[in-house]
Structure 1
Amino acid sequence: MNSKERRKYIEDLLRKTNTPHKGHVLSEELGVTRQIIVKDIAILRAEGKKIIATPEGYLISNEEKNLVKKVMAFCHKADDIEDELKTVVKFGGIIEDVIIEHSVYGELKGMLMIKTLYDVENFIKKINEHKAEPLLILTGGIHLHTISAENDDIMDNITTELKNKMYLLSD
């Protein structure tokens, strides 16, 4: 398989599934190095493909899947992260990212792509295992998430529940 065929295979694979694909797994499957996969992904992105890298692997961005998107501003304690994430996914929402405004570095963005309760549990487990501080620690609890959902009704349910739990920053 030449490089063009390999990139076509990677793009098709990412479009067909909603699950992330790790670079090292793709490299083993395709018989190339991990660095070749990184290069292929970079070329696909340069061609305009909306491929994102998450901690779980590569995905095609939900922008290409016609979902409703909303950037929401949150403010809460680190202890509330798990409940916040579970609130979104229980209604069928996807937490695409977390964004903070850092006083030195400007906007910092981490890709999450949390879609299920299993994803939430794995995310919380990783934070605990690595003794990692969540980004909201740097901003006194203030952070943004891009939330996506299949339709406006789902987004409205998510927003209402988050407001009821007082996780959303109000005007």
Structure 2
Amino acid sequence: MPTKSIKIMVEGGNVKPGPPLAPTLSQLGLNVGEVVKKLNEATSSFKGMSVPVTIEVDSNTKKYEIKVGIPTTTALLLKEAGASEPSGDPAHKKIGNLSLEQVIKIAIMKKPGLTTKSLKAAVKSMLGTAKSIGVTVENKDPKELVKEVEEGKYDDLLAKYENEWNEVKE
């Protein structure tokens, strides 16, 4: 079965039936409106965020499968912080504040795309991104939280999410 993969970035829940997607789908003999509708349904939980999507098309049967990726860490942090874009000056201009639990949940969501094997390491990675875009965590500089996480200050909180972390497939 010859398959064709279409990899695109779409706005979650707001895919439009225009170029560059529509011509590609049409060439493969797919109903553009139907595919766009299914893409919007599949990405609706990431409304307003850029989401990587792969559409696997069987060129013989015209059947297709939509695989939705995970938005970037930056996009997830911005959404949680209620900000539309990163700070142009993260050292001086803060754009939002998150709880460590919110950061942990993002780390769990991102697990399939991470190379890190532990929740603690994943959280530290998320904190690094938060710092670079001007988001504070627990009303502190994320760099300070990285240190506290390393010291074990949040081990009890991390332990609460360890099972959830372990259940996510890599």
State which structure, 1 or 2, has the greater radius of gyration over its C-alpha atoms. 2
Larger strand share, 1 or 2 = 1
Q: TM-score range by the shorter chain?
A: under 0.3
